[in-house]
Amino acid sequence: MQQPSFTLPVAPISEDDAWAALRLLAGHALVETSALGVSFRDGGPALSQVRDADLVINPAAGLAWRAERELSPEARDLLDVCIPLCAGPGASHLVVAHLGQSVDGRVATPVGEPPEITGLEDVRFTHRMRALFDAVVVGATTAVVDDPRLTTRLVPGKHPARIVLDPHGRVPHSRHLFHDGKARTLVVSGAEHAHRHADLGGHVEVVAVPLESDELPLEMVLNELASRGLRRVFIEGGGVTVSRFMAAGLVDRLEVAVAPRIIGVGEAAITLDGFSAMLKNAPCRRFLLGNDVLFDFDLRGARRLGAVTP
């Protein structure tokens, strides 16, 4: 008598699987316009032929993607958010800015109150964004006030190079990222002020750039980073730094995480003449991060459509 055959069910693609696939894609910064495949069947993830893939990504169709097997809701949400950042024609050179703000557009809390505005889900998402990029950038005020580490300690993934924009050489050398040795660290300073960082030591690279109108010329800053192999750049704050990159037309995607709270006073998230006109027709996606709402604006797509002019 013939024994019945059984096929073990294939486990759904998990959030951890999806995250590993995204890191793989971002590490290759695939720029192909033909369909891409990712397979988990050999212990993966690994790039594969489309016919053998568990995930198929089609850059020619606006980075549409599909799963060839069941996947968890968490995996689906993560892939929806991040696939446009990891593959397609613009993947190898990409600038993404991220801000966390209150409903009334504030990015800082009053003195004496806890500094966190968005919830843990957005903080974890920010760590994931760091892991997908070559470099994470903050301005001098963020480095002074928040003393960030700019690592990926909350998620699996490599630490990015950490970049501090310090045009006037005012960031104290006591900041964590200048001495913790966790990741490659650069401080970009005006050429006339770069000597103030001369005693940081060889573990921190000082990049001297001539100031223009007393500010760092941001396109030149990005070129300096690209010449060092840092072509995928994540700008994490603060509001002034993000606003300056946007005003210069250098941001490809803007992510704004909005927390369900009202602060009432403090620094505005974005200060930009013509801001509403700039984003009026920019394609926007919306995602939930716990209690926060993430708005993802495609500024590169808007520029192609003629909707955004710096």
**pLDDT digit string (tens) for 41-94?**
767 799 999 999 999 999 877 788 999 999 999 999 999 999 999 988 888 999
Q: In order along the chain (310 residues), what is the average pLDDT of each group of 10 residues?
A: 56 93 90 85 85 90 88 95 90 95 88 84 98 98 94 97 97 94 96 93 92 97 98 94 93 96 85 66 92 94 61
Instruction: Specify the domain boundaries for CATH 3.40.430.10 within the chain.
Output: 94-304
Q: What tokens does 205 get?
A: 């690279």
Q: For the whole model, what pTM was predicted?
A: 0.92
pLDDT at 5: 53
pLDDT at 8: 47
Query: Residue 291 burial by CB count (10 A; 0-12/13-18/19+): exposed, middle or buried?
Result: middle
pLDDT at 2: 62
Residue that has been written with the tokens 């990741």 in this structure: 183
Angle at which helix 120-132 crosses helix 15-28, to 10 degrees, equals 30
Residue that has been written with the tokens 């946007």 in this structure: 246
* Cα–Cα distance for residue pair 27/134, rounded to 1 Å: 9
CA 298 to chain centre: 13
* Cα–Cα distance for residue pair 300/251, rounded to 1 Å: 7
Architecture of the domain made up of 94-304: 3-Layer(aba) Sandwich (3.40)
